[in-house]
Amino acid sequence: MKNEEYGLFNHLNNILYIKDFSVLEDEEKMKTYNPFMINRFLAIAPENLFFVELMNKGKIGKKTQYYFYLLAIPKGKKFLKYPKKTLDKKKEKIIESIMEYYEINRTKAEKYFELLNEKQVKYICDVIETTEQKISAKSK
């Protein structure tokens, strides 16, 4: 495998399943090692939390941390599903309406959503819904 192809998921696979210690000696591969992201992914599995917490407590070098994980975490194929932020459909529709009404991006619309009261949100949704109905009626 080429060094420029060696990234986050290769490191995770090595720590969890392959257990190849030669990576520690390869400076090019170690340049792609990101302790913060490795800790985030490993912390997804409850059985790794203790090890991740130990690594977060002190300032430890990349190689030392990598070596520790290779030794401490048991070998085994694990599926680490990274959690995604989810919104319920109603809130998603409201945020999209705010984005359209004020012509702003999602981040600003989420902040507006926190600031607007229920009456204001209902008004915005009604205006956007009415506008969409008019547009769809014209296109028929």
Kindly report, residue by residue over 54-63, the tens digit of the pLDDT: 999 888 999 9
Q: Which residues contact 101 (CB under 8 A, 6 or more apart)?
A: 124, 127, 128
* Mean pLDDT of all residues in 100-112: 94
pLDDT for 30: 95
Average per-residue pLDDT for the chain = 89
Amino acid residing at 77: K
Give 67-131 as a DSSP string.
HHHHHHSPP-----PPP-----HHHHHHHHHHHHHHT--HHHHHHHHHHS-HHHHHHHHHHHHHH
* Mean pLDDT of all residues in 134-138: 70
* pLDDT band at 67; cut points 50, 70, 90: very high
- Examine the pLDDT at 87 and tell me if it is beyond 70: no
* pLDDT band at 3; cut points 50, 70, 90: very low
Cα dist from 118 to 27, 73, 74, 123, 125, whole Å: 56, 49, 51, 9, 11
* Mean pLDDT of all residues in 28-45: 94
CB 13 within 8 A of CB 79: no
pLDDT for 69: 97
pLDDT for 65: 96
pLDDT for 140: 63
* Mean pLDDT of all residues in 13-42: 95
- Examine the pLDDT at 4 and tell me if it is beyond 60: no
